[in-house]
Structures are given as C-alpha cells and as structure tokens.
A and B are shown apart, each in its own frame.
Chain A
Amino acid sequence: MKRFLLSLAALVVCTATPAAAQGYQVVVNAANPITSIGKAELSSIFLKKSSRFPGGGAATPVDQVRSADARVAFSKTVHSRPVTAIAAYWQQQIFAGAEVPPPEKADDAEVISFVRANPGAIGYVSSGASLGSGVKAVTIK
C-alpha cells in the first residue's frame, strides 16, 4: 500500500512538472496571467499562425539559436518537427512575403532578459535555468 501511494505520488509529480523532464521550460513575463498553455496554441504562436495568447493579449515569441539543446527539444515536442523542418517553414513564409521568424537569442540568459523586458513575450529555456524575478514558467497542457 505504501509503495502504491509513493508510486502514485511520483506519477502526479511527473505530470505536473512544467516540461522540465523534456529538457526545457516555457517562460513568460511574470505579469502575464496565464499559467498553462496548450501545445497546439504554443506551436501556433511560435510559427506566427496566431499572434495572441489563448485568453487574449498579444504574444511575442522568442526562439533560441538552432543549435541550442532547448530549441531542439522544444521543436521536437511542441512542433513535432525537427529544427531543420521549421527552418524550411520560415523560408516558405519569408519568400511568400508573409512573415519573418521570431528573434533568435544566443542562450537562456538572453531569452530570460527578453521575456523580462517584454510583457507579451514567451520563450523557452533549459529546464534547470534560474529564472529570477520578472519571469515565470508555465506548464504545457
């Protein structure tokens, strides 16, 4: 019984973890009221198919450089496509005159700094990154 309860507690903890087990965490400005976001909505924001958060409010996505571990993991789990496929998607958008990709930041620190300075920003950083004040993590539904 005790073992069963411990296993159940572990399962609850794992499912509540904000994507830390996936190698990244999604972060927004601390003033943003959202606490979670669906994977499809998150992908839409980063592909600029949607410019607003599900509950309203302008969304400003920020990526990391293509070689970043967090980006590789984010692309695989949120977009369900590798980084190279997303690069091809952006070529399509650019040369159709539609959109340009989100800004690319070199590392976690630059992403956190950008999100802290922009109320509508949303980004992702390594799962172990220290967020500091002004930035909070959200869960992916």
Chain B
Amino acid sequence: MLRIKQLALTATAGLLLATPPLVAQSTNPLTVHGYLSQGYAVASDNPVNGIPVRGTSDYRAAALQFRYDLTPGDAFVLQFSHRRLGVNPLQNAEDAVTLDWGFYQHRFATGTAVKLGKFAIPRGIYSETRDVGTILPFFRAPINFYYEGIETLDGIGVNHRQRVGAFGLDVSVYGGSADYVSVTRTPTLAITSAIDVDRGVGGWGWLETPISGVRIGAGLIDFHAFAPVPGTTPRELDGKLSQVSLDVTRARGFVRSEFSSLTSEMAGTEMTQQSYYAQGSLNVTEQLSLTAQADYLRGKNAGASWGRRSVDHALGVNVALNPGLVLKLEGHTTRGFNNFDRFVSPVGPAVAAKYVISSVSVSF
C-alpha cells in the first residue's frame, strides 16, 4: 500500500512538473490545479487544534485537482487531498491521501448546472475552500464555525446562476449522503468514530447586491445520521443547520461575518448549537494585509440555559508575494471547551491557550 502511494505521488509530481503553472484554462481540456499549506505551530498552556506545547511542523493541507472538460458544458473533476493535523487524533483515522471529490458536471445554456458524484457542499464563504491557504486569511477557516464536520456529499447537486437586473443570484440545492470522522474525548481516551449521514438535503443561495463587493447568503441543511456513542449501538440523530452570511469585499480589504444554528435531536434530547464569527482585513499594500477574527461557539440542551462559550480571537499578517504564494503569521488566544487536544468538560472550568502558526501557502 505504501509503495502504491509512493508511485502515485511520484506520478502526479511528474505530471505537475510537466504542466505549466497557470491559473487560466488553456485549449487543453485537461487542467491540473493544486494547493499546499505548510505550517509550523506552537501552543502555550494546553494543546489545541492539534498543536502541542512543544510545537509541530506536522501541520499541513494539500490537494491536487484534475479537471477534464469534455465540452464547454461538461466537466469531470477529481480532487485528492492530504493533511496532517499535528497531535489531533483525527489524522490517525484518515488515509494519507483521500478522495475529496469525484463528480461529473453538466452546465446547460440556461446557466443551470447539475453535479453527480462526490462534491463539496456549498455552504457559506469558506466551506468549499476551507483548506486553500492562498485565499484564506488564516491557516484555516474559522475553527469554531466550520469545525471538522461534513464537507462533502455523495449525491446530486443543482446550481443556477443568473443576473436579475442589478442583482446576481447563485442558488444551489443538493441531496445525498455523507460520512465524517469525529473525536469524542473522555478523561482518559480520545475516540475517533465515523458518523454516517444517510440523508442530507439542503440549499444555499448568494445574492450579489448592486453595491460592488457586497453579497448576502443564506442556507439550510436537513439531515439524519447515525452517531456513535462509546459502549453502545449508534444513536439516531435528526438535525437542521441554518446559516446566514455577509461578505463585503473591496479593494482595500474585507469584512465578513457568518452565523449558524444547529438544532438536533438524539434519544429524545434536543440540543442547539450556535456558531458565529466576524473577520476584518485591511490591505495595507497590494502584498501586505492585516486580519483580525473573533470566532464563537455555544450550545445548550432544550430548556436549559446556554453553556459556556468557546472563543478564538486571532490576529494575522499575510504577505502575498503573488496570488499563488502567500506567507502568513498568526496568533490566537482561545478559551472554552472546544478543540482542545485533551478532555475538557463543557460544564467545568474553562480552559485557555495561546497558539501561533507560521505558514507558507502555494497554489497553482
């Protein structure tokens, strides 16, 4: 297995070197794109988001995408990804190289496109590009908001884009199944388990306003899943996730904010989880930008009051040597119960940590 992976990586590296590093589509129907973010990260006080107190360079996200345009309206896309998450046990449950997407897309002359296969779920600003370092202001998308959850769907999706007067509409609906790995911690164990979403149906829409760079988004996902519970048979989970997004992007910078609410029921217990964040970035020069972010998560059972929030505040500096090469340095302070690489009780004392990530991101 390791030899096959080595051969595959070597072959793709050869193809990579033989392909001109361009963003534009050539007359060649086969295009190859990819990205890599390599980081060095260190935490204080407590390990968090896979970052140990001793530091780690085992912190990486990469992907290689192959796209074949059979006709101007028909495309077949495969994307493979690889990531390392430091001391986060999730990475032990994932293969070194996984299939991110594998789908066929047909776009009709009306502007409607149909996707069949495995594809990224359209949800918000960063869901589909949460690991693409050259377009993210930080190493990753806001962790309390986007967390490690469902990113792709096996099924069918329909997208339609249209201008309506001075407005632009981009609407997607989708349905299918999904699975992902979650980490459950006890005081002595970190258990990775697969959550099987056997039914997921949703939609997402962006409205581009007449004000340049301003768009508003909203969407809803309804799903049914089997969630593992240590020591017992999987429990059934019904949930709904609703979300709104605001994106104001101008030449001098951007302001972005998103809010989501997840309500779920498992074994007769209703739970609500809210996540929200705000980001602001200033382009000091065409290459240098400064970004600040505040990212929150809170939850409660039905009838109870809100539990303690998990909070992550961040400041970052990006130097874009060109659109495909970005250097980053970011510092975070985090507090609460989420994302720590040790057991933290949601009802016990809050745990805090600071962490720094320096990274290089490339894309082509």
A residues sitting closer than 8 Å to B (CB atoms) are 40-41, 44, 49-52, 58, 60, 63, 80-82, 84-85, 87-88, 90-92, 94-98, 100-104
Contact = CB atoms under 8 A, between A and B. Distances in A.
Given A88-B323, A100-B67, A52 B24 contact: no
B70 to A, nearest CB: 13
Interface of B: 22-27, 31, 33, 35, 63, 65, 67, 69, 72, 77, 79, 101, 103, 105, 107, 109, 111, 115, 119-120, 122, 128-129, 132, 134-135, 159, 161-163, 166, 168, 170, 212-213, 251, 286, 320, 322-324, 363
A98 B109 CA distance: 16
B25 A88 contact: no
A96 B135 contact: no
Contact of A84 (B103, B132, B162, B320): B320
Contacts of A103: 24-27
Given A50-B161, A96-B120, A44 B168 contact: yes
A5 B128 CA distance: 58
A58 B110 CA distance: 10
Given A84-B323, A92-B135, A58 B65 contact: no
Interface centre among A90, A96, A102 (most CB of B within 10 A): A96
Contacts of B170: 49
Contacts of A50: 111, 161-163
Given A91-B23, A95-B35, A49 B212 contact: no
Contact of A95 (B65, B322, B323): B65
22 contacts: A49-B161, A50-B163, A58-B109, A60-B72, A84-B320, A84-B322, A87-B23, A91-B23, A91-B324, A92-B135, A94-B65, A95-B35, A95-B363, A97-B79, A97-B101, A97-B119, A98-B159, A100-B25, A101-B23, A101-B24, A102-B24, A103-B24
Given A81-B251, A101-B25, A52 B129 contact: no
A52 B109 contact: yes
Closest 5 CB pairs of A and B: A104-B24, A96-B128, A87-B323, A100-B25, A95-B132
Contacts of A80: 212, 251
Contacts of B63: 95
A100 B65 CA distance: 12
Contacts of A52: 109, 111
